[in-house]
Amino acid sequence: MSAVSLPRSPQRLRRALLGAACLMAAGVARAARPAVLLRLSHVVAPDTPKGQMAQRFQALVHQRAGGRIRVEVHPDSSLWGDDDEMEALRLGAVEMLAPSLSKFGMAGVPEFEVFDLPYLFADLAQVRRVTQGDVGRELLQRLGRQQMLGLGFLDNGFKQMSAPRPLRAPSDYRGLRVRVQASRVLGEQMRALGAQAVVLPFAETQRALATGVVDAAENPLSNFLTQGLAALQPHLTLTQHGYLGYAVVTHPRFWASLSPGDRELLEAALAEALAHGNRLAAALDAQALATLQRTPDLQVHSLAADERATLRRHLQPVFDGFQRSFGPSLLRDVQRAVDGRS
């Protein structure tokens, strides 16, 4: 057994103890400085599926990494917004994003706009058969073309229309200026209804509605509620006409810079956080609906089955047109997954 030799004189002992204390303090300081900083930037409020997923991811990583990895969550476009977040990722000014699937088209991966097709999905179970299966895996791989590493999918929910009037029939859309995300499918969808599509970053939507730059918007309910849009839009029509979800992405260079152990830790924490967000999505949607139905000065309109069928028929040419532009196999694979045939 090796013995520790102690200094004999009290002075030398004091000096040795002081030296050891200094070394320990330096060690603590070193341990307190994280070896990895991961900034996760997103554009929505914390109380949404994406906001909650991000917070869960942060908590899990901090719990497990013992101070070695620090996750900073920047919600509400407080670090980067729709216009600059993907460029920031490429430049290493942020390490993780969760843009909506609609935003990857303009970033050079147009296949992601397939998710914007009107009435492609009837419910979240159908969405998950696509995102959690082979088609989803294949789509995430395609992000590599634009120097993004796709790590997983997250749901928000189905979009509903808000406007100065109820939107029961296709003709009710005529002449409205509607804020949309930068997606060709969403632009075409509004044009097919006789509305003008106005592409704006998410962070500018509220001001654009308040100042009359746009008249109407399409949002899942948790976004509509948490952005305070109920105070600006007197009518909310539950059209359920399209899906809004996300892909979590990082930069391959950042991911490669991590140790295998840290990568594994982050992957496991993210998988759990995404499962948490996906579990919450439907509940947050239902909660938001209940709150909005009680909101004074907001009228919530449900569509009858035949009204929904008419809207869907009206949007069918958009669906058919993009079917050609995506190429036959992508939509076929998506529809097979939706129907549970793959």
The residue ranges that bind ligand LMR (CB under 6 A) are: 43-44, 100, 156, 181, 202, 219, 223, 244
State the Cα–Cα distance between residues 249 and 147, nearest whole angstrom. 10
Task: Quote the least distance from Cβ 216 to ligand LMR, whole Å.
Answer: 13
- The alpha carbon of residue 47 and the mean position of all alpha carbons in its chain are separated, in whole angstroms, by 13
Q: Which residue's CB is nearer to ligand LMR, number 58 or number 100?
A: 100
**Contact by Cβ (8 Å): 192, 317:** yes
Q: How far is the CB of 67 from ligand LMR (least distance, A)?
A: 30
Q: Hey, what are 62's tokens?
A: 């901090």
Please tell me the distance from the alpha carbon of residue 46 to that of residue 52, in angstroms, as a whole number: 6
- The nearer residue to ligand LMR, 156 or 233, going by C-beta atoms, is 156
Q: How far is CA 274 from the centre of its chain?
A: 10
Rounded Cα distance, 119 and 308, in Å: 10
| Residue 57 or 202 having the CB closest to ligand LMR | 202
Using the minimum distance from each CB to ligand LMR, give the nearer residue, 44 or 331.
44
Cβ proximity to ligand LMR: between 115 and 202 the closer is 202
DSSP class of residue 235 equals E
Closest CB to ligand LMR among 58 and 102?
102
Residue nearest to ligand LMR (CB): 100
**Closest approach of ligand LMR to the CB of residue 66, in Å:** 31
122 close to 312: Cβ distance less than 8 angstroms: no
Q: How far is the CB of 92 from ligand LMR (least distance, A)?
A: 22
CB of 200 to ligand LMR, least distance (A): 8
Q: Are 111 and 119 in contact (CB under 8 A)?
A: no
Give the single-character DSSP code of 190.
Answer: H
Q: Rounded to the nearest whole angstrom, what is the least distance from the CB of residue 176 to ligand LMR in the complex?
A: 17
Whose Cβ is closer to ligand LMR: residue 113's or residue 333's?
Answer: 113
**What residues contact 140, with CB distance under 8 A and at least 6 apart?**
150, 151, 152, 153, 247
Can you tell me which residue has the tokens 């006789």? Answer: 194
Torsion of CA 329, 122, 126, 250, to 10 degrees: 80
CA distance 71 to 60: 10
Residue count of the chain: 342
**Least separation, in Å, of the C-beta of 219 and ligand LMR?**
6
Residues 64 and 267 sit within 8 Å (Cβ to Cβ): no
Q: Give the pair of three-digit tokens for residue 264.
A: 């594994």
In the bound state with ligand LMR, the residue whose beta carbon lies nearer, of 178 and 269, is 178
In the bound complex, what is the minimum distance in angstroms from residue 314's beta carbon to ligand LMR?
22
d(CA 222, CA 120): 21
Nearer to ligand LMR among residue 200 and residue 318 (C-beta) = 200
Q: How far is the CB of 188 from ligand LMR (least distance, A)?
A: 17
